[in-house]
Amino acid sequence: MPHVLASRTAPAVAPAPLDASLSGIAAADTVKARLPHHAPPITTAEVSAEFERFKAHLASYLKPEEVDKIDAAFVFSRAAHEGQFRSSGDPYISHPLAVAESLAEWHMDAQALCAALLHDVMEDTGVSKDELAQRFGQITADLVDGVSKLEKVENQSWQEAQAENFRKMLLAMARDVRVILIKLSDRLHNLHTLDAVRPDKRRRVAKETLEIYAPIANRLGLNQLYRELQEISFSHLYPGRYRVLSKAVKAARGNRREVVGKILDAIKESLPANGIQAEVMGREKHVYGIYRKMREKHLSFSQVLDIYGFRIIVDDIPKCYLALGVLHSLFNPVPGKFKDYIAIPKANGYQSLHTTLIGPYGTPVEMQIRTRQMHHVAEAGVASHWLYKDDGDSSEIHQKTHKWLQSLLEIQSSSVDSAEFLEHVKVDLFPGEVYCFTPKGKILVLPRGATAVDFAYAVHTDVGHRCVACRINFELMPLRTELQDGDRVEIITAVNANPNPAWLSYVKSGRARSKIRHFLKTQHTEESAALGERMVTQALRSVGYALAKITTNQWERLLRLTGAKSKKDVLTDVGLGKQLPAIVARQLTEGLEAEDDVEDRSTSTIVIRGNEGSAVVLARCCRPIPGDPIVGVLRKGQGLIVHTHDCKTLAKLRGERDGWIDVEWQPEAEHLFEVGIRVIAENRRGVLARVAAEISASNSDIMNVSIDEGQGLYSMLQFTLQVTDRQHLARIMRSLRRLPEVVRIQRARD
């Protein structure tokens, strides 16, 4: 990397090989060198000299005409940013050049490098996208636009503006992954120069990087970049904790020198003795990794034993497994700490064998075994598509990444606003994966803690919507069961099943969460609109009008008056109680004459079935069932709540009669309704069983039962039953009264 901007653009240092003298372990203390530090501002002449060295590097893998195009982009960007300086005092052009240099380390193409040099001109200098497209091509202009922030809308909070910008960037990334590679390189350089900005902004940028950009780098397999983003962000977000842990790691390195030396010597002797030529590399766990482990597992620093690990790089896959056998014969493996990511790669394309061994003095040491090809991909991730173009595996990783990016578009289509979209994406970015199998043997990768519902939505949206039960490893299990690695999952569906709102409390994947929310919102809107139409129809009939006769002009006048976007929005608001049907009817009929051919106004009541969904709610205080005289109360945001005429809660709402709606039951309803009964019976052996048997014989299901033994000879049994109507309930109560143990029975009203 050229030297002028090296302090700001140097990529994370790869782990150095450990030799017998352990100089490599000392070399592992590279974090401090990579972290931001104050440096004198650089001059324009130094930037120009740096660009010349940059062009020399580009000539090693790009065509001359492509280098010329990048030269033109640099000249254009330098002119556009003329007179602008960064907070550090450096000429602004030094920043896009540093971003382009980072991308060149991955051998990115000319379009991406031009976009990197131009990535701030639209946002900071007023250059239009059309001008960029004319000068440098449409693709470069699209890349620059994908990275550029949106203009902040008036009355929009900073959080809302950020969510909108993330949404725009992630959707652009879904179309072209180079957008996020430019943005990540941009964020890396900004972190390196973060010392020059205000402390509050420094913490905000560091927190944002840890929550969003570092997980995206991890998801794309950019492990070097991922670790560096984490490390620098941690040093800015918690500088005191970072200093303390750094000092502790340095002290621990000297204390464990002997242990690490013994392990290293044993590995270097045993592998060649078994015919395995390997490169052995030592690596030290990063400070942020230690901090996160301490927090997640509530450990002190002295309890974090696996600070050091070893990476063994061999020629091919069979030797990976041979090397694993040699290591297991040297030191005892820790049960349950072996992961085969070669046979089952991670979602970001990462492949390696992981095992934890008990070294000398009981010290646990992690070993990673991989081929050279896997090592390249592990460090560069999706960028290996450009860095190693002849590598077949890197193209496969690019396809996997493309599949994940397309899933962002699915989440976007189900999300209402930017904040919700960002929430769903964050869920999928959290590290930790679980690998499960379909009945046909296909592997699905889900976030750690995922349930059978997540699995169902991973198979297909319709499977998720219709799932009712599951078999995990051939056993029937609840849908909320957390899945483990290797589980075989079979989803059982039903044609008439729908998503349950309770699923949102335990699903883990962003896809499942967004699909469930979208379905529930759509269903709620449709039900509310249908109910609103019935209520407006009733209100119009009561004043002598028919809904079908209301003209388009009258609806348009109402939309202008209320500010609603469509007729459906008005009806939905009525169904949700946000507008009164009588007022909507009056606004629609203003200036019209009543019609004579409208149906009998006295019978204009709303007919309910009781299974309309969330738009019509049967009050829990009185549990109305068909046959009960009922009244509907329209509550804002809750829809139509149905009470019995004699409900005590309804009596308290006499002052709100404007919101009361005339409702009646649909004849011959076939739906089941819950109702409560109280049975006072003698304390005899088996009385609960006899009462339950009598209820079952009356074709009713018991949903819940509780017993209050009370004092003396009697107990109170409380049942929640399912009945079809009031007559069905009456038959059940008559049959229970015939039991000699039953003293009294009554319907529960609360």
What is the rounded distance in angstroms from the CA atom of residue 692 to the CA atom of residue 719? 9
The Cα–Cα gap between 296 and 287 comes to: 14
- List the strands of the sheet with 660-661, edge to edge: 616-618, 639-644, 630-635, 660-661
Alpha-carbon distance of 381 to 404, in angstroms, equals 14
For residue 479, give both structure tokens.
């849908």
Dihedral sign of CA atoms 181, 400, 347, 517 in order: positive
∠ Cα 742 746 750 (to 5°): 135
What does the alpha-carbon distance between residue 389 and residue 256 come to, in Å, rounded to a whole number? 41
User: Do the Cβ atoms of 332 and 263 come closer than 8 Å?
Assistant: no
Rounded Cα distance between 113 and 290, Å, is 35
Side-chain half-sphere exposure of 347, counting CA atoms within 13 A? 25
Tell me whether strands 639-644 and 630-635 are parallel, antiparallel or unpaired: antiparallel
Task: Return the number of other C-beta atoms located less than 10 Å from residue 429's C-beta.
Answer: 17
Residue 711 structure tokens: 């004092």
DSSP state of 89: S
Contact between 571 and 538 under an 8 Å Cβ cutoff? The reply is: no
Q: How far apart are CA 518 and CA 169, in angstroms?
A: 22
* Six-digit token string for 514: 């967004």
**Which residue has 């900071």 as its token pair?**
124
Strands 332-333 and 308-314: unpaired
- Strand order from edge to edge, sheet including 742-748: 701-708, 714-723, 673-682, 742-748
CA distance 41 to 655: 73
Q: Which of 472, 492, 467, 471 is nearest to 484 (CA)?
A: 472
Catalytic residue among 71, 124, 306, 396, which?
A: 124
Does residue 569 have an active-site annotation? no
Let me know: does 112 contact 183? Beta carbons within 8 Å.
no
Tell me the two tokens of residue 716.
């109170």
In what helix (H) or strand (E) does residue 675 lie, and over which residues does it extend?
strand 673-682
Catalytic (active site) residue 124? yes
CB 672, CB 699: distance < 8 Å: no
Q: What SS3 state is found at 291?
A: helix
Residue 684: how many CA atoms within 13 Å on its side-chain side? 13
Which residue shows structure tokens 């205000």? 198
Q: Which of 46, 66, 71, 123 is catalytic?
A: 123
- Overall size of the chain counted in residues: 750
| Whole-angstrom distance, CA of residue 180 vs CA of residue 229 | 14
The DSSP code sequence of 618-642 is E-TTT---TTS-EEEEEETTTEEEE
The helix (H) or strand (E) run that includes residue 139 is: helix 138-147
Q: For residue 578, what are the β-bridge partners?
A: none
**Residues with catalytic roles:** 123-124
